[in-house]
């Protein structure tokens, strides 16, 4: 979104009450020429427009009741992805608009905002937020959309210590993905609670994500499709996480390392229970608690995996893998395991 020359710095918006006047505007709006700005300790009806570089949105109370067009945290005209969204409380009561834009977090979901003009390295930090969605209408919309559409800077995504709850499965998708430019150098997730919220992380062929980490303390319950999905990545680490009541697979890793020479997947200390609650038995690649396809090395260790939902479901299905190492896991239920090279 445009060339961004920083001319405005050191701005505070603090201890204020703000409300949007229309459904298509945010209550607080910064522009692409802004840097070092702080939105803190406010009460906001609507959302914030985050642009420029080095912005901080912390310790605010958001209620979204009238806003149906713009996300609560809307990123645009980014000089850098280096922004902090931390320790906010959000109650979302508005309608959810269908489409590619994220209705809570949107960064380049349906427009080029993280693009070639985003040329300063940075980390987007989303931490310590409590977000509850009580939407009245909406379907097939994503809770979060973060996309790189041309930036070649060193961009990282960190999501940790959040509580996200959505009142219906079909508007709970979270998506972080690469379109063009340089892939996110790190996608890091730790110690979150996802209730009816799923997470999908995607590279593309020839621009695989180099480092994707899902670390201890995260709980998934319910969600949209598979609870955790990764496509096209060079290294994936999933450890110390809990997955229950997934509509499809709990974990779906279609790594697509066709030659099986590069990609590595390490899974340990997982609890994977009661998957496939929508009864997706017998459907290719969706009839297992854990599915992994096309990687050099896959390891599963010290994990508990099982369901009593159906007799013919696989606990894990590992296909097109050069080396598969299975450690000391606890498995139960009437399902089986499937591996193929």
What does DSSP assign to residue 97? P
Check pLDDT > 80 for residue 99.
no
First to last CA, the chain: 45
pLDDT (0 to 100) of residue 66: 56
Q: pLDDT digit string (tens) for 67-79?
A: 556 789 999 999 9
Check pLDDT > 70 for residue 97.
no
Q: Is 157 left (phi over 0), alpha (psi -120 to 50) or beta?
A: beta
Phi, psi at 171, each rounded to 5°: -125, 25
Kindly state the average pLDDT of the residues 136-144: 74
The alpha carbons of the chain give a radius of gyration, in whole angstroms, of 20
Token duo for residue 211: 């480092």
What does DSSP assign to residue 141? B
Q: What is the C-alpha to C-alpha distance for residues 146 and 117, in angstroms, rounded to an integer?
A: 16
The answer to whether the CB of 38 falls within 8 A of the CB of 15 is: no
pLDDT (0 to 100) of residue 1: 45
Check pLDDT > 70 for residue 283.
no
Token duo for residue 190: 């730790």
The answer to whether the CB of 210 falls within 8 A of the CB of 232 is: no
Q: What is the C-alpha to C-alpha distance for residues 164 and 137, in angstroms, rounded to an integer?
A: 18
Per-residue confidence band for 140, with pLDDT thresholds at 50, 70 and 90: low
- Please tell me the pTM assigned to this model: 0.94
Check pLDDT > 70 for residue 4.
no
Check pLDDT > 70 for residue 20.
yes
Q: pLDDT digit string (tens) for 157-167?
A: 999 999 999 98
Q: What is the C-alpha to C-alpha distance for residues 154 and 82, in angstroms, rounded to an integer?
A: 10
User: What's the chain's average pLDDT?
Assistant: 87
Higher pLDDT, 47 or 126: 126
Residue with tokens 């209550």: 27
Kindly state the average pLDDT of the residues 307-324: 81
Dihedral sign for Cα atoms in the order 335, 317, 240, 123: negative
Per-residue confidence band for 341, with pLDDT thresholds at 50, 70 and 90: low
170-182 b/e with 16+ CB inside 10 Å = b? bbbbbbbbbebbe
pLDDT (0 to 100) of residue 169: 60
Check pLDDT > 70 for residue 311.
no
Per-residue confidence band for 292, with pLDDT thresholds at 50, 70 and 90: very high
Give the dihedral of Cα atoms 191, 227, 249, 202; nearest 10 deg. Answer: -100
Q: pLDDT digit string (tens) for 203-246?
A: 999 999 999 999 999 999 988 778 999 999 999 999 999 999 98
Check pLDDT > 80 for residue 340.
no
Residue with tokens 């509580």: 163
Range in 49-53, 285-289, 301-305 with the lowest mean pLDDT: 285-289
């Amino acid at each position: 979104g445009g060339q961004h020359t920083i001319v405005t710095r050191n701005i505070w918006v603090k201890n204020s009450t703000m409300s949007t006047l229309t459904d298509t505007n945010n209550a607080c709006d910064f522009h692409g020429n802004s840097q070092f700005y702080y939105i803190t300790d406010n009460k906001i009806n609507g959302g914030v427009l985050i642009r420029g570089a080095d912005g901080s949105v912390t310790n605010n109370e958001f209620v979204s009741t009238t806003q149906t067009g713009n996300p609560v945290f809307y990123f645009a005209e980014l000089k850098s992805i280096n922004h902090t969204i931390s320790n906010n409380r959000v109650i979302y009561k508005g309608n959810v608009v269908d489409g590619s834009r994220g209705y809570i977090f949107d960064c380049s979901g349906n427009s080029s905002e993280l693009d070639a003009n985003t040329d300063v390295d940075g980390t987007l930090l989303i931490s310590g937020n409590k977000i509850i969605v009580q939407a009245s209408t909406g379907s097939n919309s994503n809770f979060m959309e973060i996309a790189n559409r041309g930036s070649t800077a060193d961009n990282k995504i960190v999501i940790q210590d959040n509580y996200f709850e959505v009142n219906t499965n079909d508007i709970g998708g979270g998506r972080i993905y690469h379109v063009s430019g340089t892939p996110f150098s790190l996608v890091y997730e730790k110690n979150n609670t996802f209730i009816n919220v799923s997470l999908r992380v995607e590279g593309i062929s020839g621009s695989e994500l180099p480092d994707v980490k899902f670390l201890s303390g995260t709980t998934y319950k319910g969600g949209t499709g598979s609870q955790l999905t990764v496509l096209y990545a060079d290294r994936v680490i999933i450890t110390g996480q809990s997955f229950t009541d997934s509509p499809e697979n709990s974990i779906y890793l279609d790594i697509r390392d066709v030659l099986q020479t590069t990609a590595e997947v390490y899974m340990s200390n997982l609890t994977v229970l009661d998957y496939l609650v929508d009864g997706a038995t017998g459907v290719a690649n969706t009839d297992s608690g854990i599915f992994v396809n096309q990687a050099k090395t896959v390891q599963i260790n010290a994990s508990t995996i099982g369901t009593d939902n159906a007799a013919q479901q696989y606990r894990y299905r590992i296909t097109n893998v050069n080396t598969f190492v299975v450690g000391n896991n606890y498995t139960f239920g009437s399902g089986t395991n499937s591996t193929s090279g």
